[in-house]
Amino acid sequence: MNNAALYAAIDLGSNSFHMLVVDEVAGACRTLAKVKRKVRLAAGLQADGNLDDASLQRAWDCLQLFAEQLQDVPANHIRIVGTATLRLARNIDVFLAKAETILGHPVRIITGEQEAALIYEGVAWTSSGTGQRLVIDIGGASTELVVGNGVSAQLLNSLNMGCVTWLSHYFADNLLNEVNFERAIVAARQILMPVASAYLALGWQTCIGASGTIQAIQEIMISQGKDEQITLNKLQQLKQEAIACKHINHLTLPGLTAERSQVFPSGLAILIALFDLLAIDDMVLAGGALREGLMYGMLLGEHQECDARERTANSLIERYQLDREQAERVRNTALNALDQVADSYALDTSAKPMLTWSAVLYELGLCIEYKKAPEHAAYIIHHIDLPGFTSPQQQLLGALLLNQRDGFQLESLTTQSAIACEQAILLARLLRLAIILCLRRTRGTVPNFQLTAQDKQLTLTLPRHWCQAHHLRACELQQEAQRQTELGWPLVIEEREG
């Protein structure tokens, strides 16, 4: 019998085949299975436009793995799409006849524009950000470029270049040198030039990458102790590190997996061309792409507006039965404190939202028990899907929840890579103050406070005689002041005069 709560999305890409299976819990997706296989379909596309027998067999073998899982999913909850290489293959009918027999469901070959639109939807449902955003997905045989706002794509293109095809065209000798990289970059620039002006004219505020190449680059940077922001300078440094390895079979970079190393140089060359020609300042990794676009299209409908992080937080509040009124009280208090000291610090743009969500979710660990609630909260955050949050942001969120009370656990704040260590510590200090000020859990009991900052010192000014009337919170604040001051971050608690 089919399970009505199950949904499945399958992406038959030019480099990899992916299957995502989820069920719907508390208004959000819970991932039940992710299956990925490197099929390298694009490598089997011959000069006459046909897929060779070996690549067809690899594809069918992979679909045999997917087919069993689909038996438990209602037919109307399944979406299966083929992309660039299957669009190009002249013998597509041969592939589809056997593929649909194996899967027991139809396979839809989508156009480049449809692929770009689905990729953008997947990013919109799973990644945060406001205003115009540029979304880039470098696949095996095509690269999708989309500018949109909210869940609406405004400009989209699918370009005939990808990490598998560029590998065979420009790194066929497996050599990593300036000549091969330059040829690959120049060729990518030539493909981009006819459309670049339209993207530059429309503009964007943020850039988000949604491919294995971009994920690999971010993982390398984090392994090297860098932050999550991908920049052209970092890409050029990675190119030189790759060239130093001389041969693709000898390509070893911290954080680069063996299965990605073969197509990494070609994907890197395409991304360098994109950054250069489109004058991209920086990029972060998306939370989802094509298969998430298919999935959320089924679950939520195509026209709902969404904020990925708010939807994620609401799902956690419902699933773990958090006190929403208290969460909002702590959030408002923490943001009030941040606003009062923001001018004293050059805060990262993600600092305010990260303080927001840590305040909203600070009681997450109480679903297990009180004594070690911060540790439980951090564990949940580190080991759960959080659509809307990048991996470094998820790490920072866990660190803030871990440091919400009791002794500071500084390693978690210093090793996260979402924002500077000093800013992470500041957010933890403000969160702790907000939680103490909101201990009463009753509307109207948060004092009208003032917070000022000078270097590392914070001064919290409370109403006159407040401490005499609120002994528990006053005691907690004094203990917190001592704890922070001993760590080299002075915290002064005082009352207004007169």
DSSP-H helix ranges across 173-300: 178-202, 212-223, 232-245, 258-261, 264-278, 290-300
**pLDDT higher for 472 or 386?**
472
pLDDT, one tens digit per residue, over 440-465 is 999 999 999 999 999 999 999 999 99
Tell me which residue has tokens 């392994």.
223
Residue-level pLDDT at 421: 93
Residue-level pLDDT at 300: 67
Distance (Å) of CA 251 to CA 111, 255, 259, 432: 34, 12, 11, 45
Whether 498 shows a pLDDT value over 70: the answer reads no
Residue type, 398: G
Residue-level pLDDT at 303: 42
Residue-level pLDDT at 294: 83
Q: What is the dihedral of CA 183, 186, 187, 192, to 10 degrees?
A: 160
Nearest to 347 by CA among 280, 272, 285, 430: 430
Which residue ranges form the domains of the chain, and what is each CATH number? 6-110 (3.30.420.40), 113-290 (3.30.420.150), 308-444 (1.10.3210.10)
**pLDDT higher for 239 or 298?**
239
- State both tokens at 172: 């066929």
What is the side-by-side strand order in the sheet with 457-462? 450-454, 457-462, 491-495
Residue-level pLDDT at 228: 80
Mean pLDDT, rounded, of the chain: 91
Residue-level pLDDT at 302: 43
How many helices (H) and strands (E) are present in the chain, helices listed first? 20, 13
Residue-level pLDDT at 463: 95
CA distance 364 to 49: 54
- State both tokens at 73: 């999913």
pLDDT, one tens digit per residue, over 294-310 is 887 787 654 455 577 88
* C-beta neighbour count of 68 within 10 angstroms: 8
| pTM for the predicted model, two decimal places | 0.71
Beta strand pairing call for 28-38 and 16-25:
antiparallel
Beta strand pairing call for 206-209 and 132-138:
parallel
pLDDT, one tens digit per residue, over 355-413 is 999 999 999 999 999 999 999 999 999 998 887 788 888 999 999 999 999 999 999 99
CA distance 205 to 467: 46
Residue-level pLDDT at 412: 95
Residue type, 445: T
CA distance 466 to 39: 67
Q: Which of 128-132, 137-141, 303-307 is the least confident region?
A: 303-307
CA distance 141 to 161: 5
Q: What is the largest CA-CA distance in the chain?
A: 89
